[in-house]
Amino acid sequence: MKYILTFLLLAITLDVPAKPLTTFFADADKFLSKWVMKGDVDYAGVKKNFAQIESLYQRIAEADLSQATDTEKKAFYINAYNLIVIYQVAKYYPLKSPLNKSGFFNQVDHKVAGEKMTLNFLEIKKIVLPFGDPRIHFAVACAAKSCPPLASFAYVPDQLDEQLAQRTKKSVNNNEFIQVKSDANQVAVSKIFAWYKKDFTQGGQTIVEFLNKYREDPIPTSYKLIHYEYDWSLNDM
């Protein structure tokens, strides 16, 4: 947010219009800080004020990335994913789960920077594969209780690396997300680590070794890895 305010103040001082992406990041940050708390979303409030998310949804559709850097694209697509999820839940709210809306992730098309795509396409083809950064999985949120908590701020280019590291640390040090069972020499993890195993085992590392890069209390590498059931209940307030 500091970066955004500095840029906007400089633009005003020099009488230069702020970049559309910069104002988008600022407005996305304002929206998320208002409607997201501790990973949950006030979908009822968003629906009552639907014009706010609808405006951001339209700006996602019209965004011009032709001059954007890779880091700007990465931040834009992460925010786009999270905001489109909120838009779609609010549009059909009340829902008990995103899965209650048929094709929520793999059939409904959205316009993103001029291209039509599903949420799955956006996540895999625009974020996961191009950037190869496993920390992304702790930044994109799928509106479910078992998904890593949604941040109450927007991701911005000049802070992106630090933001991704912080969100990863927050998730892997959460005892509900990473359940260490010392009495059984096991660690129970989200199915995200099964669905995206290749991302977390790059370079031949194990998933436990990946976790230990961000854990305050390292997990013994001898512990057996198991997966707990994914809770698709809506991350509603």
> Which pLDDT belongs to residue 15?
46
- Nearest-angstrom CA–CA distance, 217 and 220: 10
Pair (91, 187) in one structural domain: no
> Which pLDDT belongs to residue 4?
52
Residue 150 in domain: yes
Pair (156, 83) in one structural domain: yes
- Nearest-angstrom CA–CA distance, 50 and 44: 10
Residue 235 in domain: no
Which helix or strand (DSSP H or E) is residue 115 part of? strand 115-117
**Local structure of 34: helix, strand or coil:** helix
Q: What is the mean pLDDT of the chain?
A: 93
Residue 232 in domain: no
Pair (27, 113) in one structural domain: yes
Average confidence (pLDDT) over 186-208: 96
Pair (189, 110) in one structural domain: no
Q: pLDDT tens for residues 139-157?
A: 999 999 999 999 999 999 9
How many distinct structural domains can be found in the chain? 2
Task: Choose the final residue of a domain: 145, 172, 199.
Answer: 172
**What count of Cα atoms within 13 Å lies in the side-chain half-sphere of residue 102?**
0
> Which pLDDT belongs to residue 21?
95
Give pTM, 2 decimals: 0.91
Pair (100, 156) in one structural domain: yes
Q: What is the rounded (10 degree) CA torsion for 6, 8, 11, 13?
A: -70
Pair (213, 118) in one structural domain: no
Task: Choose the final residue of a domain: 128, 147, 172.
Answer: 172
Pair (158, 201) in one structural domain: no
Angle, alpha carbons 38-30-139 (nearest 5°) = 50
What's the domain range around 216? 179-227
Task: Choose the final residue of a domain: 157, 172, 187.
Answer: 172
Pair (84, 144) in one structural domain: yes
**Span of 2-6, 52-56, 129-133 with lowest mean pLDDT:** 2-6
Q: pLDDT tens for residues 53-84?
A: 999 999 999 999 999 999 999 999 999 999 99
8 CA to centre of own chain: 25
Pair (199, 110) in one structural domain: no
Pair (68, 154) in one structural domain: yes
Residues with Cβ < 8 Å from 230, sequence gap 6 or more?
Answer: 144, 146, 190, 191
> Which pLDDT belongs to residue 1?
54
Which helix or strand (DSSP H or E) is residue 179 part of? strand 179-181
- Nearest-angstrom CA–CA distance, 59 and 182: 48
